[in-house]
Amino acid sequence: MNLTLKIWRQAGPDDGGDFATYDVRDISDDMSFLEMLDVLNEDLIGKGEEPVAFDSDCREGICGQCGLMISGMAHGPDVTTTCQLHMRSFSDGETITVEPWRASSFPVLRDLVVDRSAFDRIIQAGGYISVNTGAAPEAHSVPVPKANADRAFDTATCIGCGACVAACPNASGMLFMGAKIAHLGELPQGQPERDSRVVSMVNQHDAEGFGGCTNIGECAAACPKEIPLDVINQLNKDFRKAKKGAH
C-alpha cells in the first residue's frame, strides 16, 4: 500500500517543531508500524535528509520504549504497543499523522522522542519493597493466595510506556502509579511500606506536573497492557487511608 505521513519534526528540546509530509510506497501488511518508519528513514538517508528520530528497542511489546501518537491515538488504532501495531490495521491511500507523546511532564527531545524520566522518579519515591540482597527469607515461608498473586501479576505487567499519560486530557500518570501501588499492595511483602509508599509516590507524581484523575478512562482504554482502571480506585483508597493514619 501507499501512504501519506504527516510527521512531527523537531530538531531539539528548545526548537519549535512542525509537521513534515512524506509519502511511503509499497508498504506490506506484515510490516510493523516501526518497520514502515525504518523504510521511510532509509529513503530519507538515500536522499540526504536526516532520518526521523523515534524510540524503540525490544520491538516485541515489552520494553515500553516505543510510543507514538498515531492519528491522535496513543500507540495507534489497536490496543497494543507501537512496535506491535501492524500495517494491516491501515488501508491504502490513508494519511497518517505521527506525533510524540504530548504532556508537559514528558518534554520532547527530538522529533518523536520524549523524556519519560519522571516515571523513574515516581518509582524512586517508593515504588519498591525494601529488602537488602541476602536478607530474604525462604521463598515458601510466605505463601500468597492465588487470587492476590494473579492480581499482583496483572498489575505488574505495566511496561511504563506512558500511553496512559499521553491519552489523558489531564496528562495524569495515575494509571501507571496505580498499577505499581496495586502490584505491591496485593502482596504480603508489600504491606509494611504500603502507607508511606502511596503518599510519597503521589507527592512525586504531583511535583512532576502530571494532572489529577477525573475518571475519564482514556488511560485504561489506551493501555497496551490492559491495566484495569480500578487500580486508580485502589490508589485513592490507599492514599486516603494513609493520610488518615498520619493524623
Partner 1 sequence: MSDLIQDLYREGEPIADTKCPDGPIENRWTEAKFENKLVNPSNRRKLSVIIVGTGLAGGAAAATLGEAGYHVKSFCYQDSPRRAHSIAAQGGINAAKNYNDDGDSTYRLFYDTVKGGDYRSRETNVYRLAEVSTAIIDQCVAQGVPFAREYGGLLDNRSFGGVQVARTFYARGQTGQQLLIGAYQAMERQVTAGTVEAFTRHEMLEVIVVDGRARGIIARDMVTGEIETHLADAVVLASGGYGNVYFLSTNAMGCNVTATWRAHRKGAYFGNPCYTQIHPTCIPVSGEHQAKLTLMSESLRNDGRIWVPKNRDDCDKDPRDIPEEDRDYYLERIYPAFGNLVPRDIASRQAKAMCDDGRGVGPKVGDFRRGVYLDFADAMERMSRDQVAAKYGNLFDMYQRITGESPYEVPMRIYPAVHYTMGGLWVDYDLETTIPGLFAAGEANFSDHGANRLGASSLMQCLADGYFVLPNTIRDYLASGPFEKVDEQHEAVVEARTAVTDRIEKLLSINGERSVDSFHRELGHIMWEYCGMERSEEGLNKAIGLIRSLREEFWRNVRVLGSADTLNQSLEKAGRVVDFLELGELMCIDALHRRESCGGHFRSESQTEDGEALRDDDNFAYVAAWEFGADRDGDDVALTPTLHKEDLVYNFIELKQRSYK
Interface contacts to ligand SF4, rule CB under 6 A: 158-164, 175-176, 179, 223-225, 227
Residue 79 CB partners (closer than 8 Å, separation 6+) = 221, 222, 223, 224, 226
Shortest distance (Å) from residue 139 CB to partner 1: 4
The entry of ligand SF4, partner 1, ligand FES, none that residue 106 binds, CB within 5 to 8 Å by partner kind? none
Instruction: Decide if residue 149 touches partner 1 (CB under 8 A).
Output: yes
Which is closer to partner 1, CB of 42 or CB of 230? 42
Residue 14 CB partners (closer than 8 Å, separation 6+) = none
Helical axes 174-185 vs 230-246, angle rounded to 10°: 70
Which is closer to ligand FES, CB of 7 or CB of 163? 163
Site residues (vs ligand FES, CB under 6 A): 56-59, 61-66, 81-83
Instruction: Decide if residue 172 touches partner 1 (CB under 8 A).
Output: no
Shortest distance (Å) from residue 37 CB to ligand SF4: 20
Instruction: Decide if residue 178 touches partner 1 (CB under 8 A).
Output: no
Partners of residue 110 on adjacent β-strands: 113
Kindly state the cell numbers that stand for 143: 505463601
Rounded Cα distance between 190 and 152, Å, is 11
